A and B are shown apart, each in its own frame.
Chain A
Amino acid sequence: MAVDYSALKAGGFMRQKQKDNFSLRLRTVGGTVTAEQLRTVQAVADEFGEGYIHLTSRQGIEIPFIKLADIEVVKKRLAEGGVETGVCGPRVRTVTACQGGRCCPSGCIDALDLAEKLDARYFGRELNHKFKFGVTGCQNNCLKAEENDFGVKGGVQVAWKEDACIACGVCVKACRREAITLTDGRITVDEQKCNNCGRCNRSCPTDAWDVTPGYLVSFGGTFGNSLKFGEELLPFITDEDTLLRVADATIDFFAENGLPSERFFKTLERVGIDKFKVVVTKAYNGED
């Protein structure tokens, strides 16, 4: 019987250079794997692989050296232990995230929660080429948002509260963008310089800032054969519904305009990023 390699690839089985061996990619979201899932992975790697796993560059796990003949039983064993197989090929890949908001004190948004929502909405969706989502909790960018086709970075919009300020001057220095000036006891923020990092508020001894958390989105990043930073095309997004509308519009645009085997940034270059900007701006504004 002929082996349908592309179906196997779609199901996370990556053909190895060693004949009839596959490196099995697992489904992970935001780099989170439960201890129970790990025990299952361990058992499968011991029994059907070579007793080790590989951690991929995008927070995934692969179990190498799974034999062609064992594929069905391996899938069954994993499913029983709450582990799903991943995907490869032209579709939405693993959604990555940092621990922002949940564990990391710098987090402006719950990056993992958002990654789970994006995964539930898009994971595995068939497209013209691979498509990557990544979510990072703040400007420290541990998760490197701009290397993704759709990168989300948490941030905060800050507004100074005069009543609470003691004019101590700490925020002026805490800001790495030199966006804050303190003159005669009054704070001003240069919005052109501000990158929504929230360091002013975090360092302020009297919490003299109103903060509105939200998202900065970058489009069309890639870090493979070509290197390209995703571009921010929209203003700061302050609610999740708007973010998801923008994500829907982005995926739909790629599905409609992309050519087979064309990465998103190539589509943007060919079709024109201005045309795409019009589309996502409409989604941002909630217009059809």
Chain B
Amino acid sequence: MADYQITDRVDITDVVCPVTFVKAKVALEELDEGDILSVHMNDGEPVQNVPRSIKEEGHQILKLEDNGDGTYDLIVRKVGE
């Protein structure tokens, strides 16, 4: 099904905006170009805003998975070093 292999995961459900994005950004910094990060986030502000911020950082978003429990997993491919 999924045509990507998740390299790492980060859970940002324990923080609120704007730290949500900061935490995701730090997790991405740990990775290498082309690695895939799954970002676990809450409904509401995080899912409304974090994907956009990650896009604006230049990374590639592949999918937003709805876990059906009020959380989402955003699948991101790291772009750049």
Partners in one complex: yes
Where the two chains meet, the residues of A that have a C-beta atom closer than 8 Å to any C-beta of B are 105, 166, 168-170, 172-174, 176, 199, 202-205
Distance in angstroms from A67 CB to nearest chain B CB is 49
CB <8 Å contact, A105 and B51: no
Distance in angstroms from A171 CB to nearest chain B CB is 9
Nearest chain-B residue to A168 (Cβ)?
Answer: B63
Q: Which residues of A contact B56 (CB under 8 A)?
A: 105
Q: Which residues of B contact A173 (CB under 8 A)?
A: 43, 47-48, 51, 64, 72
Q: Which residues of A contact B49 (CB under 8 A)?
A: 174
A169 interface neighbour in B43, B48, B60, B63, Cβ under 8 Å: B63
Answer whether A168 and B61 are a contact pair too, CB < 8 Å, given A173-B72, A205-B55.
yes
Q: Which residues of B contact A105 (CB under 8 A)?
A: 56
- How many B residues touch A, CB cutoff 8 Å? 17
Answer whether A203 and B52 are a contact pair too, CB < 8 Å, given A169-B63, A169-B66, A170-B64.
yes
Where the two chains meet, the residues of B that have a C-beta atom closer than 8 Å to any C-beta of A are 43, 47-49, 51-52, 55-56, 60-66, 72, 74
CB <8 Å contact, A174 and B60: no
What are 14 of the A-B contact pairs (CB < 8 Å)? Answer: A166-B63, A169-B64, A169-B66, A170-B51, A172-B64, A173-B47, A173-B64, A199-B48, A199-B52, A203-B52, A205-B55, A205-B60, A205-B61, A205-B62
CA distance A202 to B55 in the complex (A): 8
Which 7 A/B pairs are nearest by Cβ-Cβ distance?
A: A205-B61, A203-B52, A169-B64, A173-B47, A170-B51, A170-B64, A203-B51
Distance in angstroms from B65 CB to nearest chain A CB is 8
Nearest chain-B residue to A105 (Cβ)?
Answer: B56
CA distance A199 to B48 in the complex (A): 9
Q: Which residues of A contact B62 (CB under 8 A)?
A: 166, 168, 205
Distance in angstroms from A197 CB to nearest chain B CB is 11
Q: Which residues of A contact B63 (CB under 8 A)?
A: 166, 168-169
CB <8 Å contact, B52 and A202: yes
Distance in angstroms from B46 CB to nearest chain A CB is 9
CA distance A204 to B56 in the complex (A): 10
CA distance A174 to B55 in the complex (A): 12
Task: A169-B64, A202-B55 given; name 17 further pairs at CB < 8 Å.
Answer: A166-B63, A168-B61, A169-B66, A170-B61, A170-B64, A173-B72, A174-B47, A174-B51, A176-B48, A199-B48, A202-B52, A203-B51, A203-B52, A204-B55, A205-B51, A205-B55, A205-B62
Q: Which of A166, A168, A203 lies at the interface centre, i.e. has the most chain B CB atoms within 10 A of its CB?
A: A203
Nearest chain-A residue to B50 (Cβ)?
Answer: A203
Distance in angstroms from A193 CB to nearest chain B CB is 15
CA distance A204 to B54 in the complex (A): 10
CA distance A204 to B62 in the complex (A): 10
Distance in angstroms from A175 CB to nearest chain B CB is 8
CA distance A199 to B65 in the complex (A): 19
CB <8 Å contact, A168 and B64: yes
CB <8 Å contact, A203 and B55: yes
Q: Which residues of B contact A204 (CB under 8 A)?
A: 55
CA distance A207 to B72 in the complex (A): 21
Q: Which of B49, B63, B64 lies at the interface centre, i.e. has the most chain A CB atoms within 10 A of its CB?
A: B64
